[in-house]
Amino acid sequence: MSKKTLIALRTSAVAAAALMTALAVQAGEVEVLHYWTSGGEAKAAKALQATLQGKGHTWKDFAVAGGGGDSATTVLKSRVVSGNAPSAAQIKGPSIQEWAQEGVLADMSDVAAANNWDKLLPPVVANVMKYKGKYVAVPVNVHRVNWLWANPEAFKKAGAKVPTTWDEFFVAADKLKAAGIIPVAHGGQNWQDFTTFESIALGVGGPDFYKKALVQLDQTALKSETMTKVLSTFKRVKTYTDKNAPGRDWNLATAMVIRGEAGMQLMGDWAKGEFIAAGKKPGVDFTCVAAPGTAKDFTFNIDSFALFKIKNEANVKAQKDLAAAIMSPDFQEVFNLNKGSIPVRLGADMSKFDDCAKLSAKDFVETAKANTLVPSIAHGMAVSSAAEGAIKDAVSNFWNSDKMTVADAVNKIAAAAKTK
Ligand code: BGC
């Protein structure tokens, strides 16, 4: 071997070693706290995991079961307090600001600037993701909460029509009941009671009432005649649920509609993820319509990941790669096809999505123009977590109590809304 060849070989060996070291430094681990554990949700979470692994990083799954995420939040708090925050956690709405104020979130401005997030996101969404002008969270989707899911077979059997108003809802519910079908599939957990409540508030009271009462927490609106009507309708819906509802998980309630054991469910479009995961086709095996009286309105719920300050350099790189990947068109498509939601990126290609998602995308834009796009209070988008928790408990106590009058409930909810 000539001296020249030897030098060349040595040089390339050194270069290869340097490359290996660089790769080893760059491959990091991302620990992601989420509460996506149902069939459709787990498929969506897997898409996120695959995207990250595709970048050469390791995914450390930190799933805490519990719809709506209350248990996940409790676990997150204890982890952060003990100085052991995960890289990313499913946090949304005003809570992002609350966490940022604690000084524990990482600045993602460089990733945002390099990937044009300001241009790709509607400003109302971007603002929620920023703290003092800097991105600290990244959005994955837009869920619509005000949906009614129905089983067409069950409706046919009962000779009922899928309702578009609350009067029609009760007519259909009576027919389903008479046919031996549980009219309303419900899971008696406080966040599910609250989800039902908010759709009724929107449908019975309209978007202006909703905004005054449940976003601005205006005491006059909270104590109005309209609120009385909302609460009476809410309690009437309960009479169409079954006796096993208390404690039931939301996806088990969806499964009842899938099987035709129940006729309908009021739930956000993560429920569609369950129908899809069960191999069901929209418009054939199940129907999606806006919750009664809300066809021209849209309660939005945007899932996002807040990024925590972490130390290890390789893990920081992995965290930034995750943030960038979440906003990529490919990820937004595959994730949302499974999750039941729609991409949050402006101008996303909807060609692979079903009619429910297409309707959601169209209504998202139209309601934004008409000023009837409202944040979901039940899903952490409208008020502080303290006020949300207190109102949620008051609403759920009313749902569960045989003794509380509507007038008492009005007062309890209005008082809860003052929680700071
Ligand atoms: C979240 C969804 C989740 C649902 C049920 C909502 O608050 O935004 O992503 O699928 O709760 O857990």
pLDDT digits (tens, 9 = 90+) for 62-110: 999 999 999 999 999 999 999 999 999 999 999 999 999 999 999 999 9
Mean pLDDT of 204-213: 98
Per-residue pLDDT at 13: 57
Which residue of 272, 303, 381 sits with most ligand 1 atoms within 8 Å of its CB, as the best mutation to test the pocket?
303
Among residues 191, 206, 189, 149, the alpha carbon closest in space to that of 370 is found at: 206
Per-residue pLDDT at 192: 98
Where along the chain do its domains lie? 28-143+301-357, 144-300+369-416
Query: How much of the chain, in percent, has pLDDT values that exceed 90?
Result: 94
pLDDT digits (tens, 9 = 90+) for 281-294: 999 999 999 999 99
pLDDT surpassing 80 at residue 6: no
Per-residue pLDDT at 108: 98
pLDDT averaged over the chain? 95
Nearest CA to ligand 1 atom 5: 67
Confidence of residue 4 (pLDDT cuts 50, 70, 90): low
358 Cβ neighbours under 8 A, 6+ residues apart: 350
Per-residue pLDDT at 11: 56
The fold adopted by the segment(s) 28-143+301-357 is D-Maltodextrin-Binding Protein; domain 2 (3.40.190)
Per-residue pLDDT at 19: 52
The fold adopted by the segment(s) 144-300+369-416 is D-Maltodextrin-Binding Protein; domain 2 (3.40.190)
Q: What DSSP string runs through 153-193?
A: HHHHHHT----SSHHHHHHHHHHHHHTT-EEE---BSHHHH
Residue 284 Cα to ligand 1 middle (Å): 25
pLDDT surpassing 80 at residue 2: no
Q: Say if strands 137-139 and 304-307 run parallel, antiparallel, or are unpaired.
A: antiparallel
Per-residue pLDDT at 280: 98
Which token pair is 332? 């937004």
Per-residue pLDDT at 180: 98
pLDDT surpassing 70 at residue 396: yes
Mean pLDDT of 248-258: 98
Residue 37 Cα to ligand 1 middle (Å): 10
Ligand 1 in reach of 301 Cβ (< 6 A):
yes
pLDDT digits (tens, 9 = 90+) for 353-382: 999 999 999 999 999 999 999 999 999 999
Instruction: Identify whether the C-beta of residue 117 lies closer than 8 Å to the C-beta of residue 327.
Output: yes
Residue 73 Cα to ligand 1 middle (Å): 13
pLDDT surpassing 80 at residue 3: no
Residue 178 Cα to ligand 1 middle (Å): 33
28-143+301-357 and 144-300+369-416 in the same fold: yes
Nearest CA to ligand 1 atom 7: 68
pLDDT surpassing 70 at residue 149: yes
pLDDT surpassing 80 at residue 16: no
Per-residue pLDDT at 26: 77
Ligand 1 in reach of 379 Cβ (< 6 A):
yes
Ligand 1 in reach of 68 Cβ (< 6 A):
yes
Nearest CA to ligand 1 atom 8: 303
Task: Note the pTM of the prediction, 2 decimals.
Answer: 0.93
